[in-house]
Amino acid sequence: MNIDGDNGIPDNDVVLTTRSRLARNLADHPFLNRASDMQSALVMQTAQRVLLDAPLSEKTLWMDLDELTPLDRSLLVERHLISRHHSESSLHRGVAISSDEHMSIMVNEEDHLRIQVIQRGSRLDETFEQLMRIDALLEQQLDYAFHDQWGYLSVCPTNVGTGIRFSVMVHLPALRITNELAKVQRAAKELHLVVRGYYGEGSESTGQIYQVSNQVTLGRTEEEIQEEFSKSIIPALIDYERSARNVLMKKNSMLLDDRIQRAYSVLCSARLLKVDEAMKLLSRVRLGASLGHVDCSIQTIDELLVQVQPAHLNQQAQSTLSDNDELEYRALIVRNTLSQQ
Amino acid sequence: MKCDLCNKPAVVHEVSINNGKKKEVHLCLEHAQAAGVAIPGQQPINKLLTKFVIGQSPKSTGKECPDCGITFAQIKRSNLIGCPGCYNAFRDSLGSLIEQAQYGASSHIGRVPNRKHTPSQFELRAKKLMNELDAAVTAEQYERAAILRDRLNKLSTEVQADEDEVQGGDGGS
């Protein structure tokens, strides 16, 4: 079992990424649902100047989403650097991204600022620490909307107070096979957690990958929420999934191995692959990689999960692929990557 | 005044300037909602002016936020708050909405801003221009409003140029 994680990424047999994010709004500016064109442009100009000026990361890139092609915007969505909502909105909007892609700050998404730090594996403490450092830097330059009773203000009552949201993206194939996922979802609900799909709000789960986040942002300190996530919620999710994997290994190891090897064989030989099929098969191979059943690193599979997405394929092919070409190119990328393992 | 598209009373009044010509649109609630308030195909100035000239429904008895004009009924319907000022304007009603969303929590105990922010040159100048723009729209001086809007658009570049000049000057001395 892969407790230390492959390639030194902690707990990545179950945890793909951990993320901390803050919702922040500027004082004296209407929220975006009430802002005029000029007012949203003003928020963007104010934020852009500060984001490029403050030492937020070694190298920070600023992108005006209106100036990007739809393909470039989709690339950012597929890399989880902006949300689908941000990509598709018609407002003046932009994003600041650190060149290592750990930090992204969406301007004029639902709130004026959505600051996030994301890391591979279970590294919530690290992301939280970086997020607090970035927030402190921005607070020196920006006047945040703050209320004596409700703390940092947001357009949505679900984000007031700390404005902090922790998320962990977990791979739970064994819980799915053993039909225990519903139990986990019920427990999550009782703990006031929300379980979403691969692309967050409004998305379906693909390849048994789920995003689990806190719902309560008020009445507790940032540290209390973070500690519960780091010390209770993430370890519990990891334990549940690992226990289910152990049960499967003991009770039906041949059936499990058969599923993994079939998925691996299809990925190594398929000539045409749809994105959903690729995700489903990669999910099984990911389980195989974490159990040592296939000769492939978990990190390679995680990278493939992004590379098989439509915008990434089009970018890599450096042309606009037709639907059929996309299926062929996806299969080719997967075959080539797995054959190099 | 009646709606441009039917006989119902108009509740949304939008004024736009195109090539120096003033154009007015008056819509009832239904047609305004159908049009998304900001009518497509017009210049950005329309969206700007909409904020200042949206009429109030004659039937509306709810209190409005003095800063952004939203009513609590609108907030409740969309679950979206209009501006930081709404939190004081609707303090009591919002309290229960927040408690509901936050599983009973009602007060912030986390971090507070640790430093009173000093406004930058950009913010000060932008605020001054926004106030002038507000006054111009109230006085129906639409051509002046358009000029002020353009100045606001260029402000970022101007402030940057000023800062570069200051830095350049320091470097030379």
pLDDT digits 0-9 by tens, A54-74? 899 988 999 999 999 999 999
**In chain A, where are the structural domains located?**
6-242, 253-339
Nearest to A310 by CA among A297, A321, A294: A321
> Could you say which of B84, B103, B159 has the minimum Cβ distance to residue A153?
B84
Average pLDDT over residues A179-200: 88
Q: C-alpha distances in angstroms, A61 versus A58, A89, A98?
A: 10, 21, 6
Range with lowest mean pLDDT among A199-203, A231-235, A256-260, B15-19: B15-19
To the nearest whole Å, the CA of A311 is away from the closest chain B CA by: 29
Which helix or strand (DSSP H or E) is residue A243 part of?
Answer: helix A234-269
State CA A100 to chain mean position distance. 15
pLDDT at A328 over 90: yes
* Confidence at residue A90, expressed as pLDDT on a 0 to 100 scale: 87
pTM value > 0.90: no
Answer whether B5's CB lies under 8 Å from B37's CB: no
Q: What is the mean pLDDT of residues A222-248?
A: 95
pLDDT value of residue B46: 35
The 10 Å Cβ neighbour count of residue B128 is 10
Residue A21 backbone phi and psi in degrees, to 5 = -145, 150
Kindly state the helix (H) or strand (E) to which residue A117 belongs, with its residue range: strand A113-120
Query: Could B84 and A25 be called an inter-chain contact, meaning their C-beta atoms sit closer than 8 Å?
Result: yes
* For B95, nearest residue in chain A (alpha carbons): A150
Low-confidence ranges of chain B (pLDDT < 70): 1, 10-26, 29-62, 115-119, 156, 160, 162-173
DSSP letter string, A15-66: EEEEEEEEEE-BTTS--GGG--HHHHHHHHHHHHHHHHHS--SSSEEEEEGG
Contact A215 B156 (CB under 8 A): no
Could you please state the CATH topology (level 3) that the domain comprising A6-242 is classified under: Creatine Kinase; Chain A, domain 2 (3.30.590)
Size of the A and B interface in Cβ pairs below 8 Å: 151
Higher local confidence (pLDDT), B58 or A329: A329
Residue B157 forms contact with A (CB below 8 Å):
no
Tell me the average pLDDT of chain A: 93
Question: Which of the four pLDDT bands, split at 50, 70 and 90, describes residue A4?
Answer: low
Place of tokens 């992301």: A127
Q: How far apart are CA A29 and CA A39, in angstroms?
A: 7
Query: A216–B79: do the CB atoms touch at under 8 Å?
Result: no
Separation CA A135–CA B60 (nearest Å): 41
**Tens digit of each residue's pLDDT (9 = 90 or more) over A265-317:** 999 999 999 999 999 999 999 999 999 999 999 999 999 999 999 999 999 99
B21 at A interface, C-beta within 8 A: no
ipTM value, please give it. Answer: 0.87
Amino acid, res. B57: S
Q: Which of A130-134, A175-179, B141-145 has the lowest mean pLDDT?
A: B141-145
Average the pLDDT over each of A129-143, A188-202, A308-322 and give the range with the smallest value: A188-202
